[in-house]
Each structure stands twice: as C-alpha cells, then as structure tokens.
Amino acid sequence: RRWNPKMARFIFAERNGIYIIDLQKTVKKIQEAYNFIKSVAANKGTILFVGTKK
C-alpha cells in the first residue's frame, strides 16, 4: 500500500496496483479548503504553503 490510511475514504477503486481517487469527494474537500483560504486572506491572515519533494 502506497497511500496513507487516512486517505482510505477517498479511494474509489484499485486497478492493477493503481489507486483511483473519488473525484466527487475530492472536489468537495478542495472547495472547502478554497473557502477557508479565501476567508483567511480576506481577513488579512497569513497563509503558508509547504511542499515536499520525494
């Protein structure tokens, strides 16, 4: 298994060792994140984006 167990609810299916994410659930969570970031920015809050490289 190559994914974090916390992501199990977003896994739609598995085919030939490739995990397919549930796009409907993913879009909903992306919209929630967007709305949160938008409200933080509107209130002149600080947002820190962190990226990792493997």
Tens digit of pLDDT for each residue in 11-41?
999 888 889 999 999 999 999 999 999 999 9
Letter for the amino acid at 30? I
In the predicted model, is pLDDT for residue 1 greater than 70?
Answer: no
Letter for the amino acid at 43? N
Domain extents for the chain?
5-42
Residue where the block lists tokens 């974090």: 4
Q: pTM for the complete prediction?
A: 0.68
Three-state secondary-structure class, residue 51: coil
CA distance 31 to 15: 27
Three-state secondary-structure class, residue 20: strand
